[in-house]
Each structure stands twice: as structure tokens, then as C-alpha cells.
């Protein structure tokens, strides 16, 4: 299995036009999430993903988010290797979102 990549600007456009309800899975730590997050995202820190697999729908579109796109890429690969069929990594992470989509978002 594999996963796709999406840029912050592509994700922004996609979220404005899609009729589906993708899961925005934030895999950062709670302290990071407190600083800034995408609306309607769900926080499950990276280290908790293996124990949370049964809480996630393997057929639902899942867009994985972290700070710069590195942890989320690892989680996306992990999900894909566990039979999750529609996984997308946010390239550049929440940092890219703050730079290119929502300049009012806090950065760290």
C-alpha cells in the first residue's frame, strides 16, 4: 500500500470544495497542538498511533498532519502498511499551512 502527498495550498482548496469529511489526523504532541492546529483535526500523538489503530476507520480518507511533514510521513506510511486505503500526508506540515494558507496562525 502507499499514500499520497498534498501541499498546504492544495489541502486548503480541497477542504473548501470536497463533499467528503476527511479525518485530519494531527500526530504532534499535545503541547504543540495547544499552540496551533487545523480546525476539526483530531490529535493522536505519533507514539500512540499503534495502540489507536482500532479507533481509526481504514476506509476513511485520512490526512496526516505534523509540524513539518516528517512525523506525518512516517505515520502515513505506517497506516498504509496496515491496510489503510486512503492516506494523505500534508507536505510541510502545519508550518507550511501557517506560511502559505493562514498567516495569522501561531508558529513555533
Residues annotated catalytic, as ranges? 66
> In angstroms, rounded to a whole number, what is the distance separating the alpha carbons of residues 99 and 97?
5
Q: Are 73 and 27 in contact (CB under 8 A)?
A: no
The length of the chain in residues reads: 108
CA angle 23, 26, 86 (to 5 degrees): 40
Amino acid at each position: 500500500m502507499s499514500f499520497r502527498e498534498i501541499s498546504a495550498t492544495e489541502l486548503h482548496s480541497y477542504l473548501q470544495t470536497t463533499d467528503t469529511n476527511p479525518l485530519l489526523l494531527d500526530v504532534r504532541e499535545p503541547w504543540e497542538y495547544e499552540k496551533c492546529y487545523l480546525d476539526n483535526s483530531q490529535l493522536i500523538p505519533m507514539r500512540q498511533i499503534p495502540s489507536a489503530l482500532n479507533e481509526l476507520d481504514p476506509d476513511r480518507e485520512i490526512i496526516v498532519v505534523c509540524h513539518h511533514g516528517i512525523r506525518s510521513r512516517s505515520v502515513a506510511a505506517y497506516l498504509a502498511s496496515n491496510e489503510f486505503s486512503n492516506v494523505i500526508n500534508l507536505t510541510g506540515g502545519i508550518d507550511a499551512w501557517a506560511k502559505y494558507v493562514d498567516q495569522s496562525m501561531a508558529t513555533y
